[in-house]
Amino acid sequence: MKAVTRRKFLATATVAAAGAAAGPWVRRAQAQAGTTITVGVVLPYTGVYAELGVSITQGMKLVFARENDRVAGRKILMIQEDDEMKPPVGIRKMEKLIESDKVDILTGPVHSGILMGMRDKVHSTKTILIVSNAGADAISRERCSRWIFRASFSNWQPNFPMGTWVAKNVAKEAYIAAPNYQAGKDQLGAFKESFVAAGGKIIGEDYPKLGETDYAPYLTKIKQSGTKAVYAFFSGTDAVNFVKQYDQFGLKKTAKLTGAGFLTEPDVLPAQGQSALGIITGHFFSPLLDNPVNKKFVKDFRAQYGGKVPDGFACQGYDTAEVIIRSLKAVDGNTQDKDKWVDAIAKVEFDSPRGRFRFDPKTHNVIQPFIYIREVKETALGLNNVPFDKVANVIDPGTGCTLPA
């Protein structure tokens, strides 16, 4: 069976959307008539994180297809917008979905900067947003909102447990690196917080630009530092380039590479190849998790998408769609009473591929059942992240969040 390429996927998605609605005036009429529930999607389908947007969308579509694209007697219509990983574009697309398309609910984005730019508009218009990736910590803290839930992670969650773990099991000194934007700073900040508290010492840190293709200047500094451990957060094509060049520099032989799970997700492992072997990361998901829901998720996802192995982003899309479906069933499809709908979302709880899914009532951020410590190894599914340790019940501190806000 042939793999589904991003181009083919997007072409199919565009045709499906066009077939479901002839234009925005038709979508508005459908929404106003109460016949269709519109889900506005703001994700990257181009740029360095394009594959993340595709995986999230595929996870959502898998759940909606299971429900025959209907809930509580109403048809579900996804309106997808490409934010191009550019905050001004993402914010403009979000405004279009709220003001012109008058969507019932929003989901996305990937970029933390876009999420922060969306926050005030979503909050002031009382538009429900289910965050399906961006982990900006502030959204679960001083910038939290009654109208925002997060089904993915806060940047703090995968990294804080890893600081303690790396200090205990790998080395007491580490060099750290991440892209120079909010998510990079958040993720390394969480690692440093627990690594230093556990007796560790940061001996160097770098923040290359998002979308960097030549890491040689940074890898040279890492080599010269003599460090025995590196902790990194990179994703998408950044993760591919960093991991391959790390190996080419010969650093795998002298400094253990560890990081947030996005560094070696299944979306990048085929391109990283043998360079990824032995990398240790922390994440809430692995396609190898041994539970019935995950086994069915992996089987159904691979059958639907040409053998593609689902990554954590696909799990986030799956969980986002489950939250939408289950909450709408709870309110019998009534999208007009937003307060009642928000209360229903807050109570959603189910068995996800990652474990028991539930929101923290203090912040509306997902409680991670586990952060799994994983090592890249050869498996029956090819190169994959094999869990071998875990930290349970990881809850963002939620500092400064007081709901309802």
- Give the model's pLDDT for residue 213: 97
- Give the model's pLDDT for residue 405: 67
- Give the model's pLDDT for residue 48: 85
5 vs 136 pLDDT, higher one: 136
Q: What pLDDT, in 10s, does the model give residues 60-77?
A: 999 999 999 999 999 999
How many C-beta neighbours within 10 Å does residue 328 have?
23
Among 163, 150, 155, which Cα is nearest to 185's?
A: 155
Q: What pLDDT, in 10s, does the model give residues 112-131?
A: 999 999 999 999 999 999 99
In three-state form (DSSP H/G/I as H, E/B as E, the rest C), the secondary structure along 39-81 is: EEEEECCCCCCHHHHHHHHHHHHHHHHHCCCEECCEEEEEEEE
Among 133, 131, 46, 112, which Cα is nearest to 311's?
A: 133
> Rounded mean pLDDT of 168-174?
98
> Cα(162)–Cα(257) distance, rounded to whole angstroms?
12
> Which residues have C-beta within 8 Å of that of residue 10, sequence separation ≥ 6?
45, 54
DSSP E strand boundaries for 235-322? 256-260, 280-283
Greatest CA separation for the chain: 66
Q: DSSP alpha helices (H): ranges in 198-291?
A: 216-225, 236-248, 269-272
Mean pLDDT across the chain, nearest whole number? 92
Q: Work out the angle at residue 290's Cα, subtended by the Cα atoms of residues 169 and 393, and round it to the nearest 5 degrees.
A: 55
Q: What pLDDT, in 10s, does the model give residues 38-48?
A: 999 999 999 88
Among 258, 296, 245, 275, which Cα is nearest to 373's?
A: 258
- Give the model's pLDDT for residue 316: 98
> Rounded mean pLDDT of 255-265?
97
> Cα(80)–Cα(64) distance, rounded to whole angstroms?
14
Q: What pLDDT, in 10s, does the model give residues 268-322?
A: 999 999 999 999 999 999 999 999 999 999 999 999 999 999 999 999 999 999 9
- Give the model's pLDDT for residue 25: 45
Does this model's pTM top 0.85? Answer: yes
Among 37, 9, 8, which Cα is nearest to 21's?
A: 37
pLDDT at 30 over 70: no
Q: What pLDDT, in 10s, does the model give residues 314-344?
A: 999 999 999 999 999 999 999 999 999 999 9
Q: DSSP alpha helices (H): ranges in 155-273?
A: 156-169, 182-197, 216-225, 236-248, 269-272
> Rounded mean pLDDT of 27-36?
58
Please report, rounded to a whole number, the percentage of residues in the chain having pLDDT higher than 70: 91
- Give the model's pLDDT for residue 18: 37
Tracing tokens 């007697």 back to the chain, one arrives at: 73
